[in-house]
Chains A and B, each alone.
Chain A
């Protein structure tokens, strides 16, 4: 029945009803990478085993992650027609108990259950509603709306929750121009770091009459502390694929690449499966949903290279070459992958598109701030009580995120600094915590929202040592093509290294500023141009620590007891 979307949607709804209100209980285990790390495998196996041994007739599914990583592993039980009850931080040996009492016995385990979720008006005694918990109540979940609720490998569960309705609407009732207009109207800006208006970017590609045009989705996501792209792909890949199809439709393109770092098996497999299912159900390939629109897709891989996330380096990687950035112009809209017009977007950006097309650009624009519409998907890690992935409306302040969602500092006394937007994004001190999370406010504060990673550091973090680590990352990940980046990072790292060893020199800060200046204006791509950011932003808040580390007799920083340091051992050939 490829092509008949109404039939498919009906079948999906029926299947979903069977799951949540059928005759059998539905047990879901959160199964993102964070869940796996916390032991979701064992919990899932224990659930299967317990049900079999106890003869409990239940549907057991692996679903994506709710983003509440501090609660992993999470298991929830939905009795037919009843509320969904979550158990958090579960040990495998507790599962048999839950199966006996809750799944079979129909009674939740008071004191062990964490929260519940149900339609309005339904409540469960003694339990908070998940949406009203601290970590959840500030969230507005658009791109992550299905994360943790559905099985990412089942297209029907996605369709049952409104999936592909946007695509259906666009293909049946909108011209490509209208679809593009909705995206323009929404004020959506690229979530990859540069925050360029997505609709405008698409409109560079749309008019081209080239026979092959590509839309690329970038899930290289190499920033330490960022996992929201992979989070979306592993929990709800179809929202990306639907967005990609819409991007292809709006720009009159005919081929899509989802570019994922190799080795991330969960998002890779989920995305591959999603694409396969699209082909099975007539949502990809020739004449999608019976219309004239044809679009093909595949997953492409990077090697282990951070710079492969740079848009032109990514194209080189897709072409099977060394992933070094190309010079611009020509820009990708004229000369992209395989020399054809191309457009490249971040996963998060594309994941908003189905909702924007379905509900309208104005609806999206009403969320967030006037210049940064929609939500931000932040990843909290480090010295924070509730690490996880949260989708918040733009405009919330950093402090709100840290205190209300993150629950404040986890160990130590206070939050000293944040490292945002990846290693090139720089650090923020407490003085800037009242900055609103908004592209323009953040950049005014000297940081970038970038990929949305926020690494929290408490008072024990030595700033110079932290910066040394960030610069070491940037140095190690430089592709080595352009001279300022290849050489500048090396020399900056060596300067920071000697500062950490207690051998700093009086002119070191000036030296780094000079090198950084040459990198900023001289480098070929963003990696070098932003390479001095970590240092310049840290100097803004913690100049004193830098100054003291270039004084004679300064105590070494960041060293192990034997004097060794965590650093790449070779910086030169």
Chain B
């Protein structure tokens, strides 16, 4: 860190980093300067002028020293050496009051001038002192209003000669999730700026100018039409009651608890606001969160409140004669134990919750092995295990190699068959930031997704050819000798076999087979190789199935190794898997082929180690994982199962119709928060504690182990996963699975998982730590395989070998940083993989009557008219749904442009208008996109209390297109 700039604020010496403003430096030193338009982590704006200060700077003029005085906005003025700042002089106080006085004449503030303000209790409704529309007490932001705090802080005299006007604007309450009341808006533009500057959506804008200036959407449309992502960032930054969440709108928080969103693997750090009845009434992204940098998405911001739902399961039930009967835990467990005893180990399966903590998953894995003696155990949404398996095999860890937020420093981001905006929303924010900083964004996807909007190259491949395309890129890089020679020679092995293998794929042939332009393929390869900091986002959404997915992952790692994208800032490989804690569940051995560690199940040495910890041994044959589970049940090979249902969608694509299959089991025990399809088929139903009623750790995509805190005690008889398994194990015999607390479980996890050895619940209380963290003093490993280079700023370096630690820089960083952990796999060279799987050929999608439906999600499509209809009080997007198909398919299927066609597939059907166009999707594909607004309205409308953990409809699936008898001309249909 450079030396601080020293200057004086109100007589106190303050240090500022270069580029810091007076306001930032003062606040960091504990000096409060009131502000309204500034917000941390956003660019200064300088509009509200509440942060004005007086400055004195001494300058040399010839022989004389002259003191220059100025009144400046401290949020925009950079700190200067030896500057003297007065934040609270008389003129400044007067000026500040003068400005806020003007502001208050535009804002309902009756309560602030009321003589009873000190007497007024939170539940009082005054009878006559203040006009109804003018009360702070009826404002949803009462007592968390920054304006009110500021007014009180500056001790504003509110007996003013200024005329107060109420704007009397209608309140916008018809968009999903949040309300907009512009009567309360102070036009600080925080919402506009966060939307444009941080989220890159630009759904909000300043409208009009001068005294009539306000915030709104362009042309006053609904949020649904303006391209809103419903991330709620604007709501979080609003200082007044203009933007508020609709649910629990007027609820007051009596306390705030930091927790982790368990809807997706990004693991956003959130602050849960809890009312005095222990209900979570609000969820606000934690501005200090390392994983999310103060951002969240519609799932984390608005999908947090399912623990409050009335439909919660409160007690254990057993099915008797087709009827569910409430029983005691003891009875329920006894019944389950008795049933489970009847089956052979290979006939049993355990499914852990995708939201399950590491503690739950660890105990689930141990339960399966030690008690049931089976390896049929997996995390519920581990539906594309190939991604993490390949990364673990190739790079030593089944998760992202680099921190998510470092993506903003990437110079090139390659997105393969993934839609992070939809599934891992916050992960896409730094990608978009990189895009704005002119990073190349290369999207390899058949679908149109939100990131294709940012793409410098959109390689619209034929379905299933993603892996081949990536290998083609590798071939171009080798042909043009663009590889990172130093990295390849020093840190990798087995390049020669790869070269031989790649010799088989001519770029022109690859381009032809993938259905892209060869020049574009070459451009993409060059951009990826030359950028200096290239990252790969590796998604699961290929039509090619497990084989292609696995090949895609291998090809991605090959590309990353070729270009030296491992072990440096702004680079890395990021798997876009489903399930909030899937990576953690693998770490702790809740997987069909992994023991805690994770250690391969086939390895006898590893089994010996874990076996001695557990005091038991178990089968070494690979178990059944989630993608195969439904098939095994249907085949009758699995007859009984225990399913942890919190956040599990048995109908998720990739689970192969698990929902139906569960009905075929002879015995099913389900632990869940809500009644669902799974509980309807269960013989024993156990109430599960949701995130707010349990403590435990989860590991996110960037290996950050974070603490989910218990917000309240279970309200009824709910139990955490580890408690449930422990209690059930107790019924099946003495097995060492009874733990006193989650911390107790974690103490054992630490022994079983070397990467977690340095972690504890206590250490995680201040924020997450990135695994591997091998000892208690370690600060974790932000970047895997990191090797400090002279020019790379040492964010958190991990010195690798004695040779490197000998350099001056490495030594310096060792002093600053806590001892760094040894690297994964002990510094072995990273091998290229070159077997035939890399060149998985495309599916045969071009014949027959079915097409592959590529369903994308976009924020907004400018080319097509979207209207808004009102149903009840709510806005819904209404637009002509269109499926684009290739002209050749159109001829084959007898469909013409503008025809109405029925699309029917496994997930149901709908009627759309066909668009036949050149330059659209490749042959064999029907392309559709849904607007984000549609997804938001659907989620708000969903009758299920917890619809958010899995987003359906993104995987390509087979559909049949049938032409409707009546042909509607395209123009008429659009009108």
Contacts and interface: CB of A to CB of B under 8 A. Distances in A.
B214 interface: yes
A491 B98 CA distance: 12
Contacts of A488: 102
A487 B211 contact: yes
A489 interface: yes
B209 interface: yes
B48 A483 contact: yes
A480 B161 contact: no
A524 B47 contact: yes
Contact of A480 (B49, B162, B209): B209
Given A322-B206, A511-B161, A491 B49 contact: no
B76 A478 contact: no
B107 to A, nearest CB: 10
B211 A489 contact: yes
Nearest to A522: B49
A487 B49 CA distance: 12
Nearest to A490: B211
Given A327-B73, A522-B99, A486 B210 contact: yes
Contacts of B47: 481-483, 524
A533 interface: no
Interface residues of A, number: 38
A522 B98 contact: yes
A486 B49 contact: no
B596 interface: no
A2 to B, nearest CB: 35
Contacts of B48: 482-483
Contacts of A511: 161-162
A486 B187 contact: yes
B71 interface: yes
Contacts of A572: 106, 165, 167, 211-212
A505 B163 CA distance: 12
A494 interface: yes
Interface string A175-206: 00000000000000000000000000000000
Contact of B211 (A329, A486, A523): A486
A482 B102 contact: no
Contacts of B162: 491, 511
Interface string A487-523: 1111101100000000001010001001101100111
B76 A518 contact: no
A381 interface: no
A475 B45 CA distance: 21
Contacts, number: 118
Interface string A221-249: 00000000000000000000000000000
Given A521-B52, A522-B49, A491 B105 contact: yes
A305 B186 CA distance: 22
A477 B211 CA distance: 9
Contacts of A354: none
A479 B210 contact: yes
Contacts of A493: 211
A571 interface: yes
A484 interface: yes
Interface residues of B, number: 40
A493 to B, nearest CB: 8
Interface in A514-549: 514-515, 517-518, 521-524
B790 interface: no
Q: Which of B103, B186, B212 has the most CB of A within 10 A?
A: B212
B546 interface: no
Contacts of A484: 49, 98-99, 102
Main secondary structure, interface of B, reads loop
B49 A573 contact: no
B929 to A, nearest CB: 27
B69 to A, nearest CB: 11
Interface in B154-189: 161-163, 165, 167, 169, 182, 186-187, 189
Contacts of A490: 210-211
A514 to B, nearest CB: 6
A444 interface: no
B108 interface: no
B122 to A, nearest CB: 30
B44 interface: yes
A481 B214 CA distance: 10
A465 B777 CA distance: 75
Given A327-B44, A482-B49, A483-B47, A518 B99 contact: yes
A480 B207 CA distance: 9
A493 B214 CA distance: 19
B730 interface: no
Contacts of B52: 521-522
Contacts of A479: 209-210, 213
Given A480-B187, A518-B95, A524-B73, A305 B209 contact: yes
Interface string B264-278: 000000000000000
Nearest to B192: A322
Contact of B169 (A327, A475, A573): A573
Interface in A537-570: 570
Contacts of A478: 209-211, 213
Contacts of B625: none
Contacts of A494: 163
Nearest to A506: B161
A522 B213 contact: no
Interface string A456-487: 00000000000000000001111111111011
B211 A475 contact: yes
A476 B210 contact: yes
A496 to B, nearest CB: 13
Contacts of A322: 205-206
B95 A573 contact: no
Nearest to B44: A327
A505 B106 contact: no
B46 interface: yes
Contacts of B213: 478-481, 486, 573
B49 A571 contact: no
A486 B50 CA distance: 14
A475 B210 CA distance: 6
Contacts of A486: 187, 210-211, 213
A166 B929 CA distance: 61
Interface string B229-251: 00000000000000000000000
Contacts of A507: 161
Contacts of B71: 521-522
A570 B212 contact: yes
A524 B210 contact: no
Q: Which of B47, B50, B105, B205 has the most CB of A within 10 A?
A: B47
B197 to A, nearest CB: 12
Contacts of B161: 505, 507, 511
A216 B213 CA distance: 28
Nearest to A329: B78
B209 A521 contact: no
Contacts of A573: 167, 169, 182, 208, 211-214
A229 B215 CA distance: 35
Nearest to A491: B162
Contacts of B46: 327, 482, 524
Contacts of A324: 206
List 10 A-B pairs, minimum CB-CB distance, nearest first.
Answer: A480-B213, A518-B98, A490-B211, A327-B46, A487-B102, A327-B76, A478-B210, A480-B209, A573-B214, A571-B211
26 contacts: A322-B205, A327-B46, A327-B73, A327-B76, A475-B210, A476-B210, A479-B213, A480-B209, A481-B189, A483-B50, A486-B211, A487-B103, A490-B211, A491-B102, A493-B211, A521-B95, A522-B52, A522-B99, A523-B49, A524-B47, A570-B212, A572-B106, A572-B211, A572-B212, A573-B167, A573-B213
Interface of A: 305, 322, 324, 327, 329, 475-484, 486-491, 493-494, 505, 507, 511, 514-515, 517-518, 521-524, 570-573
Given A491-B105, A524-B46, 4 more contacts: A480-B187, A491-B162, A494-B163, A573-B211
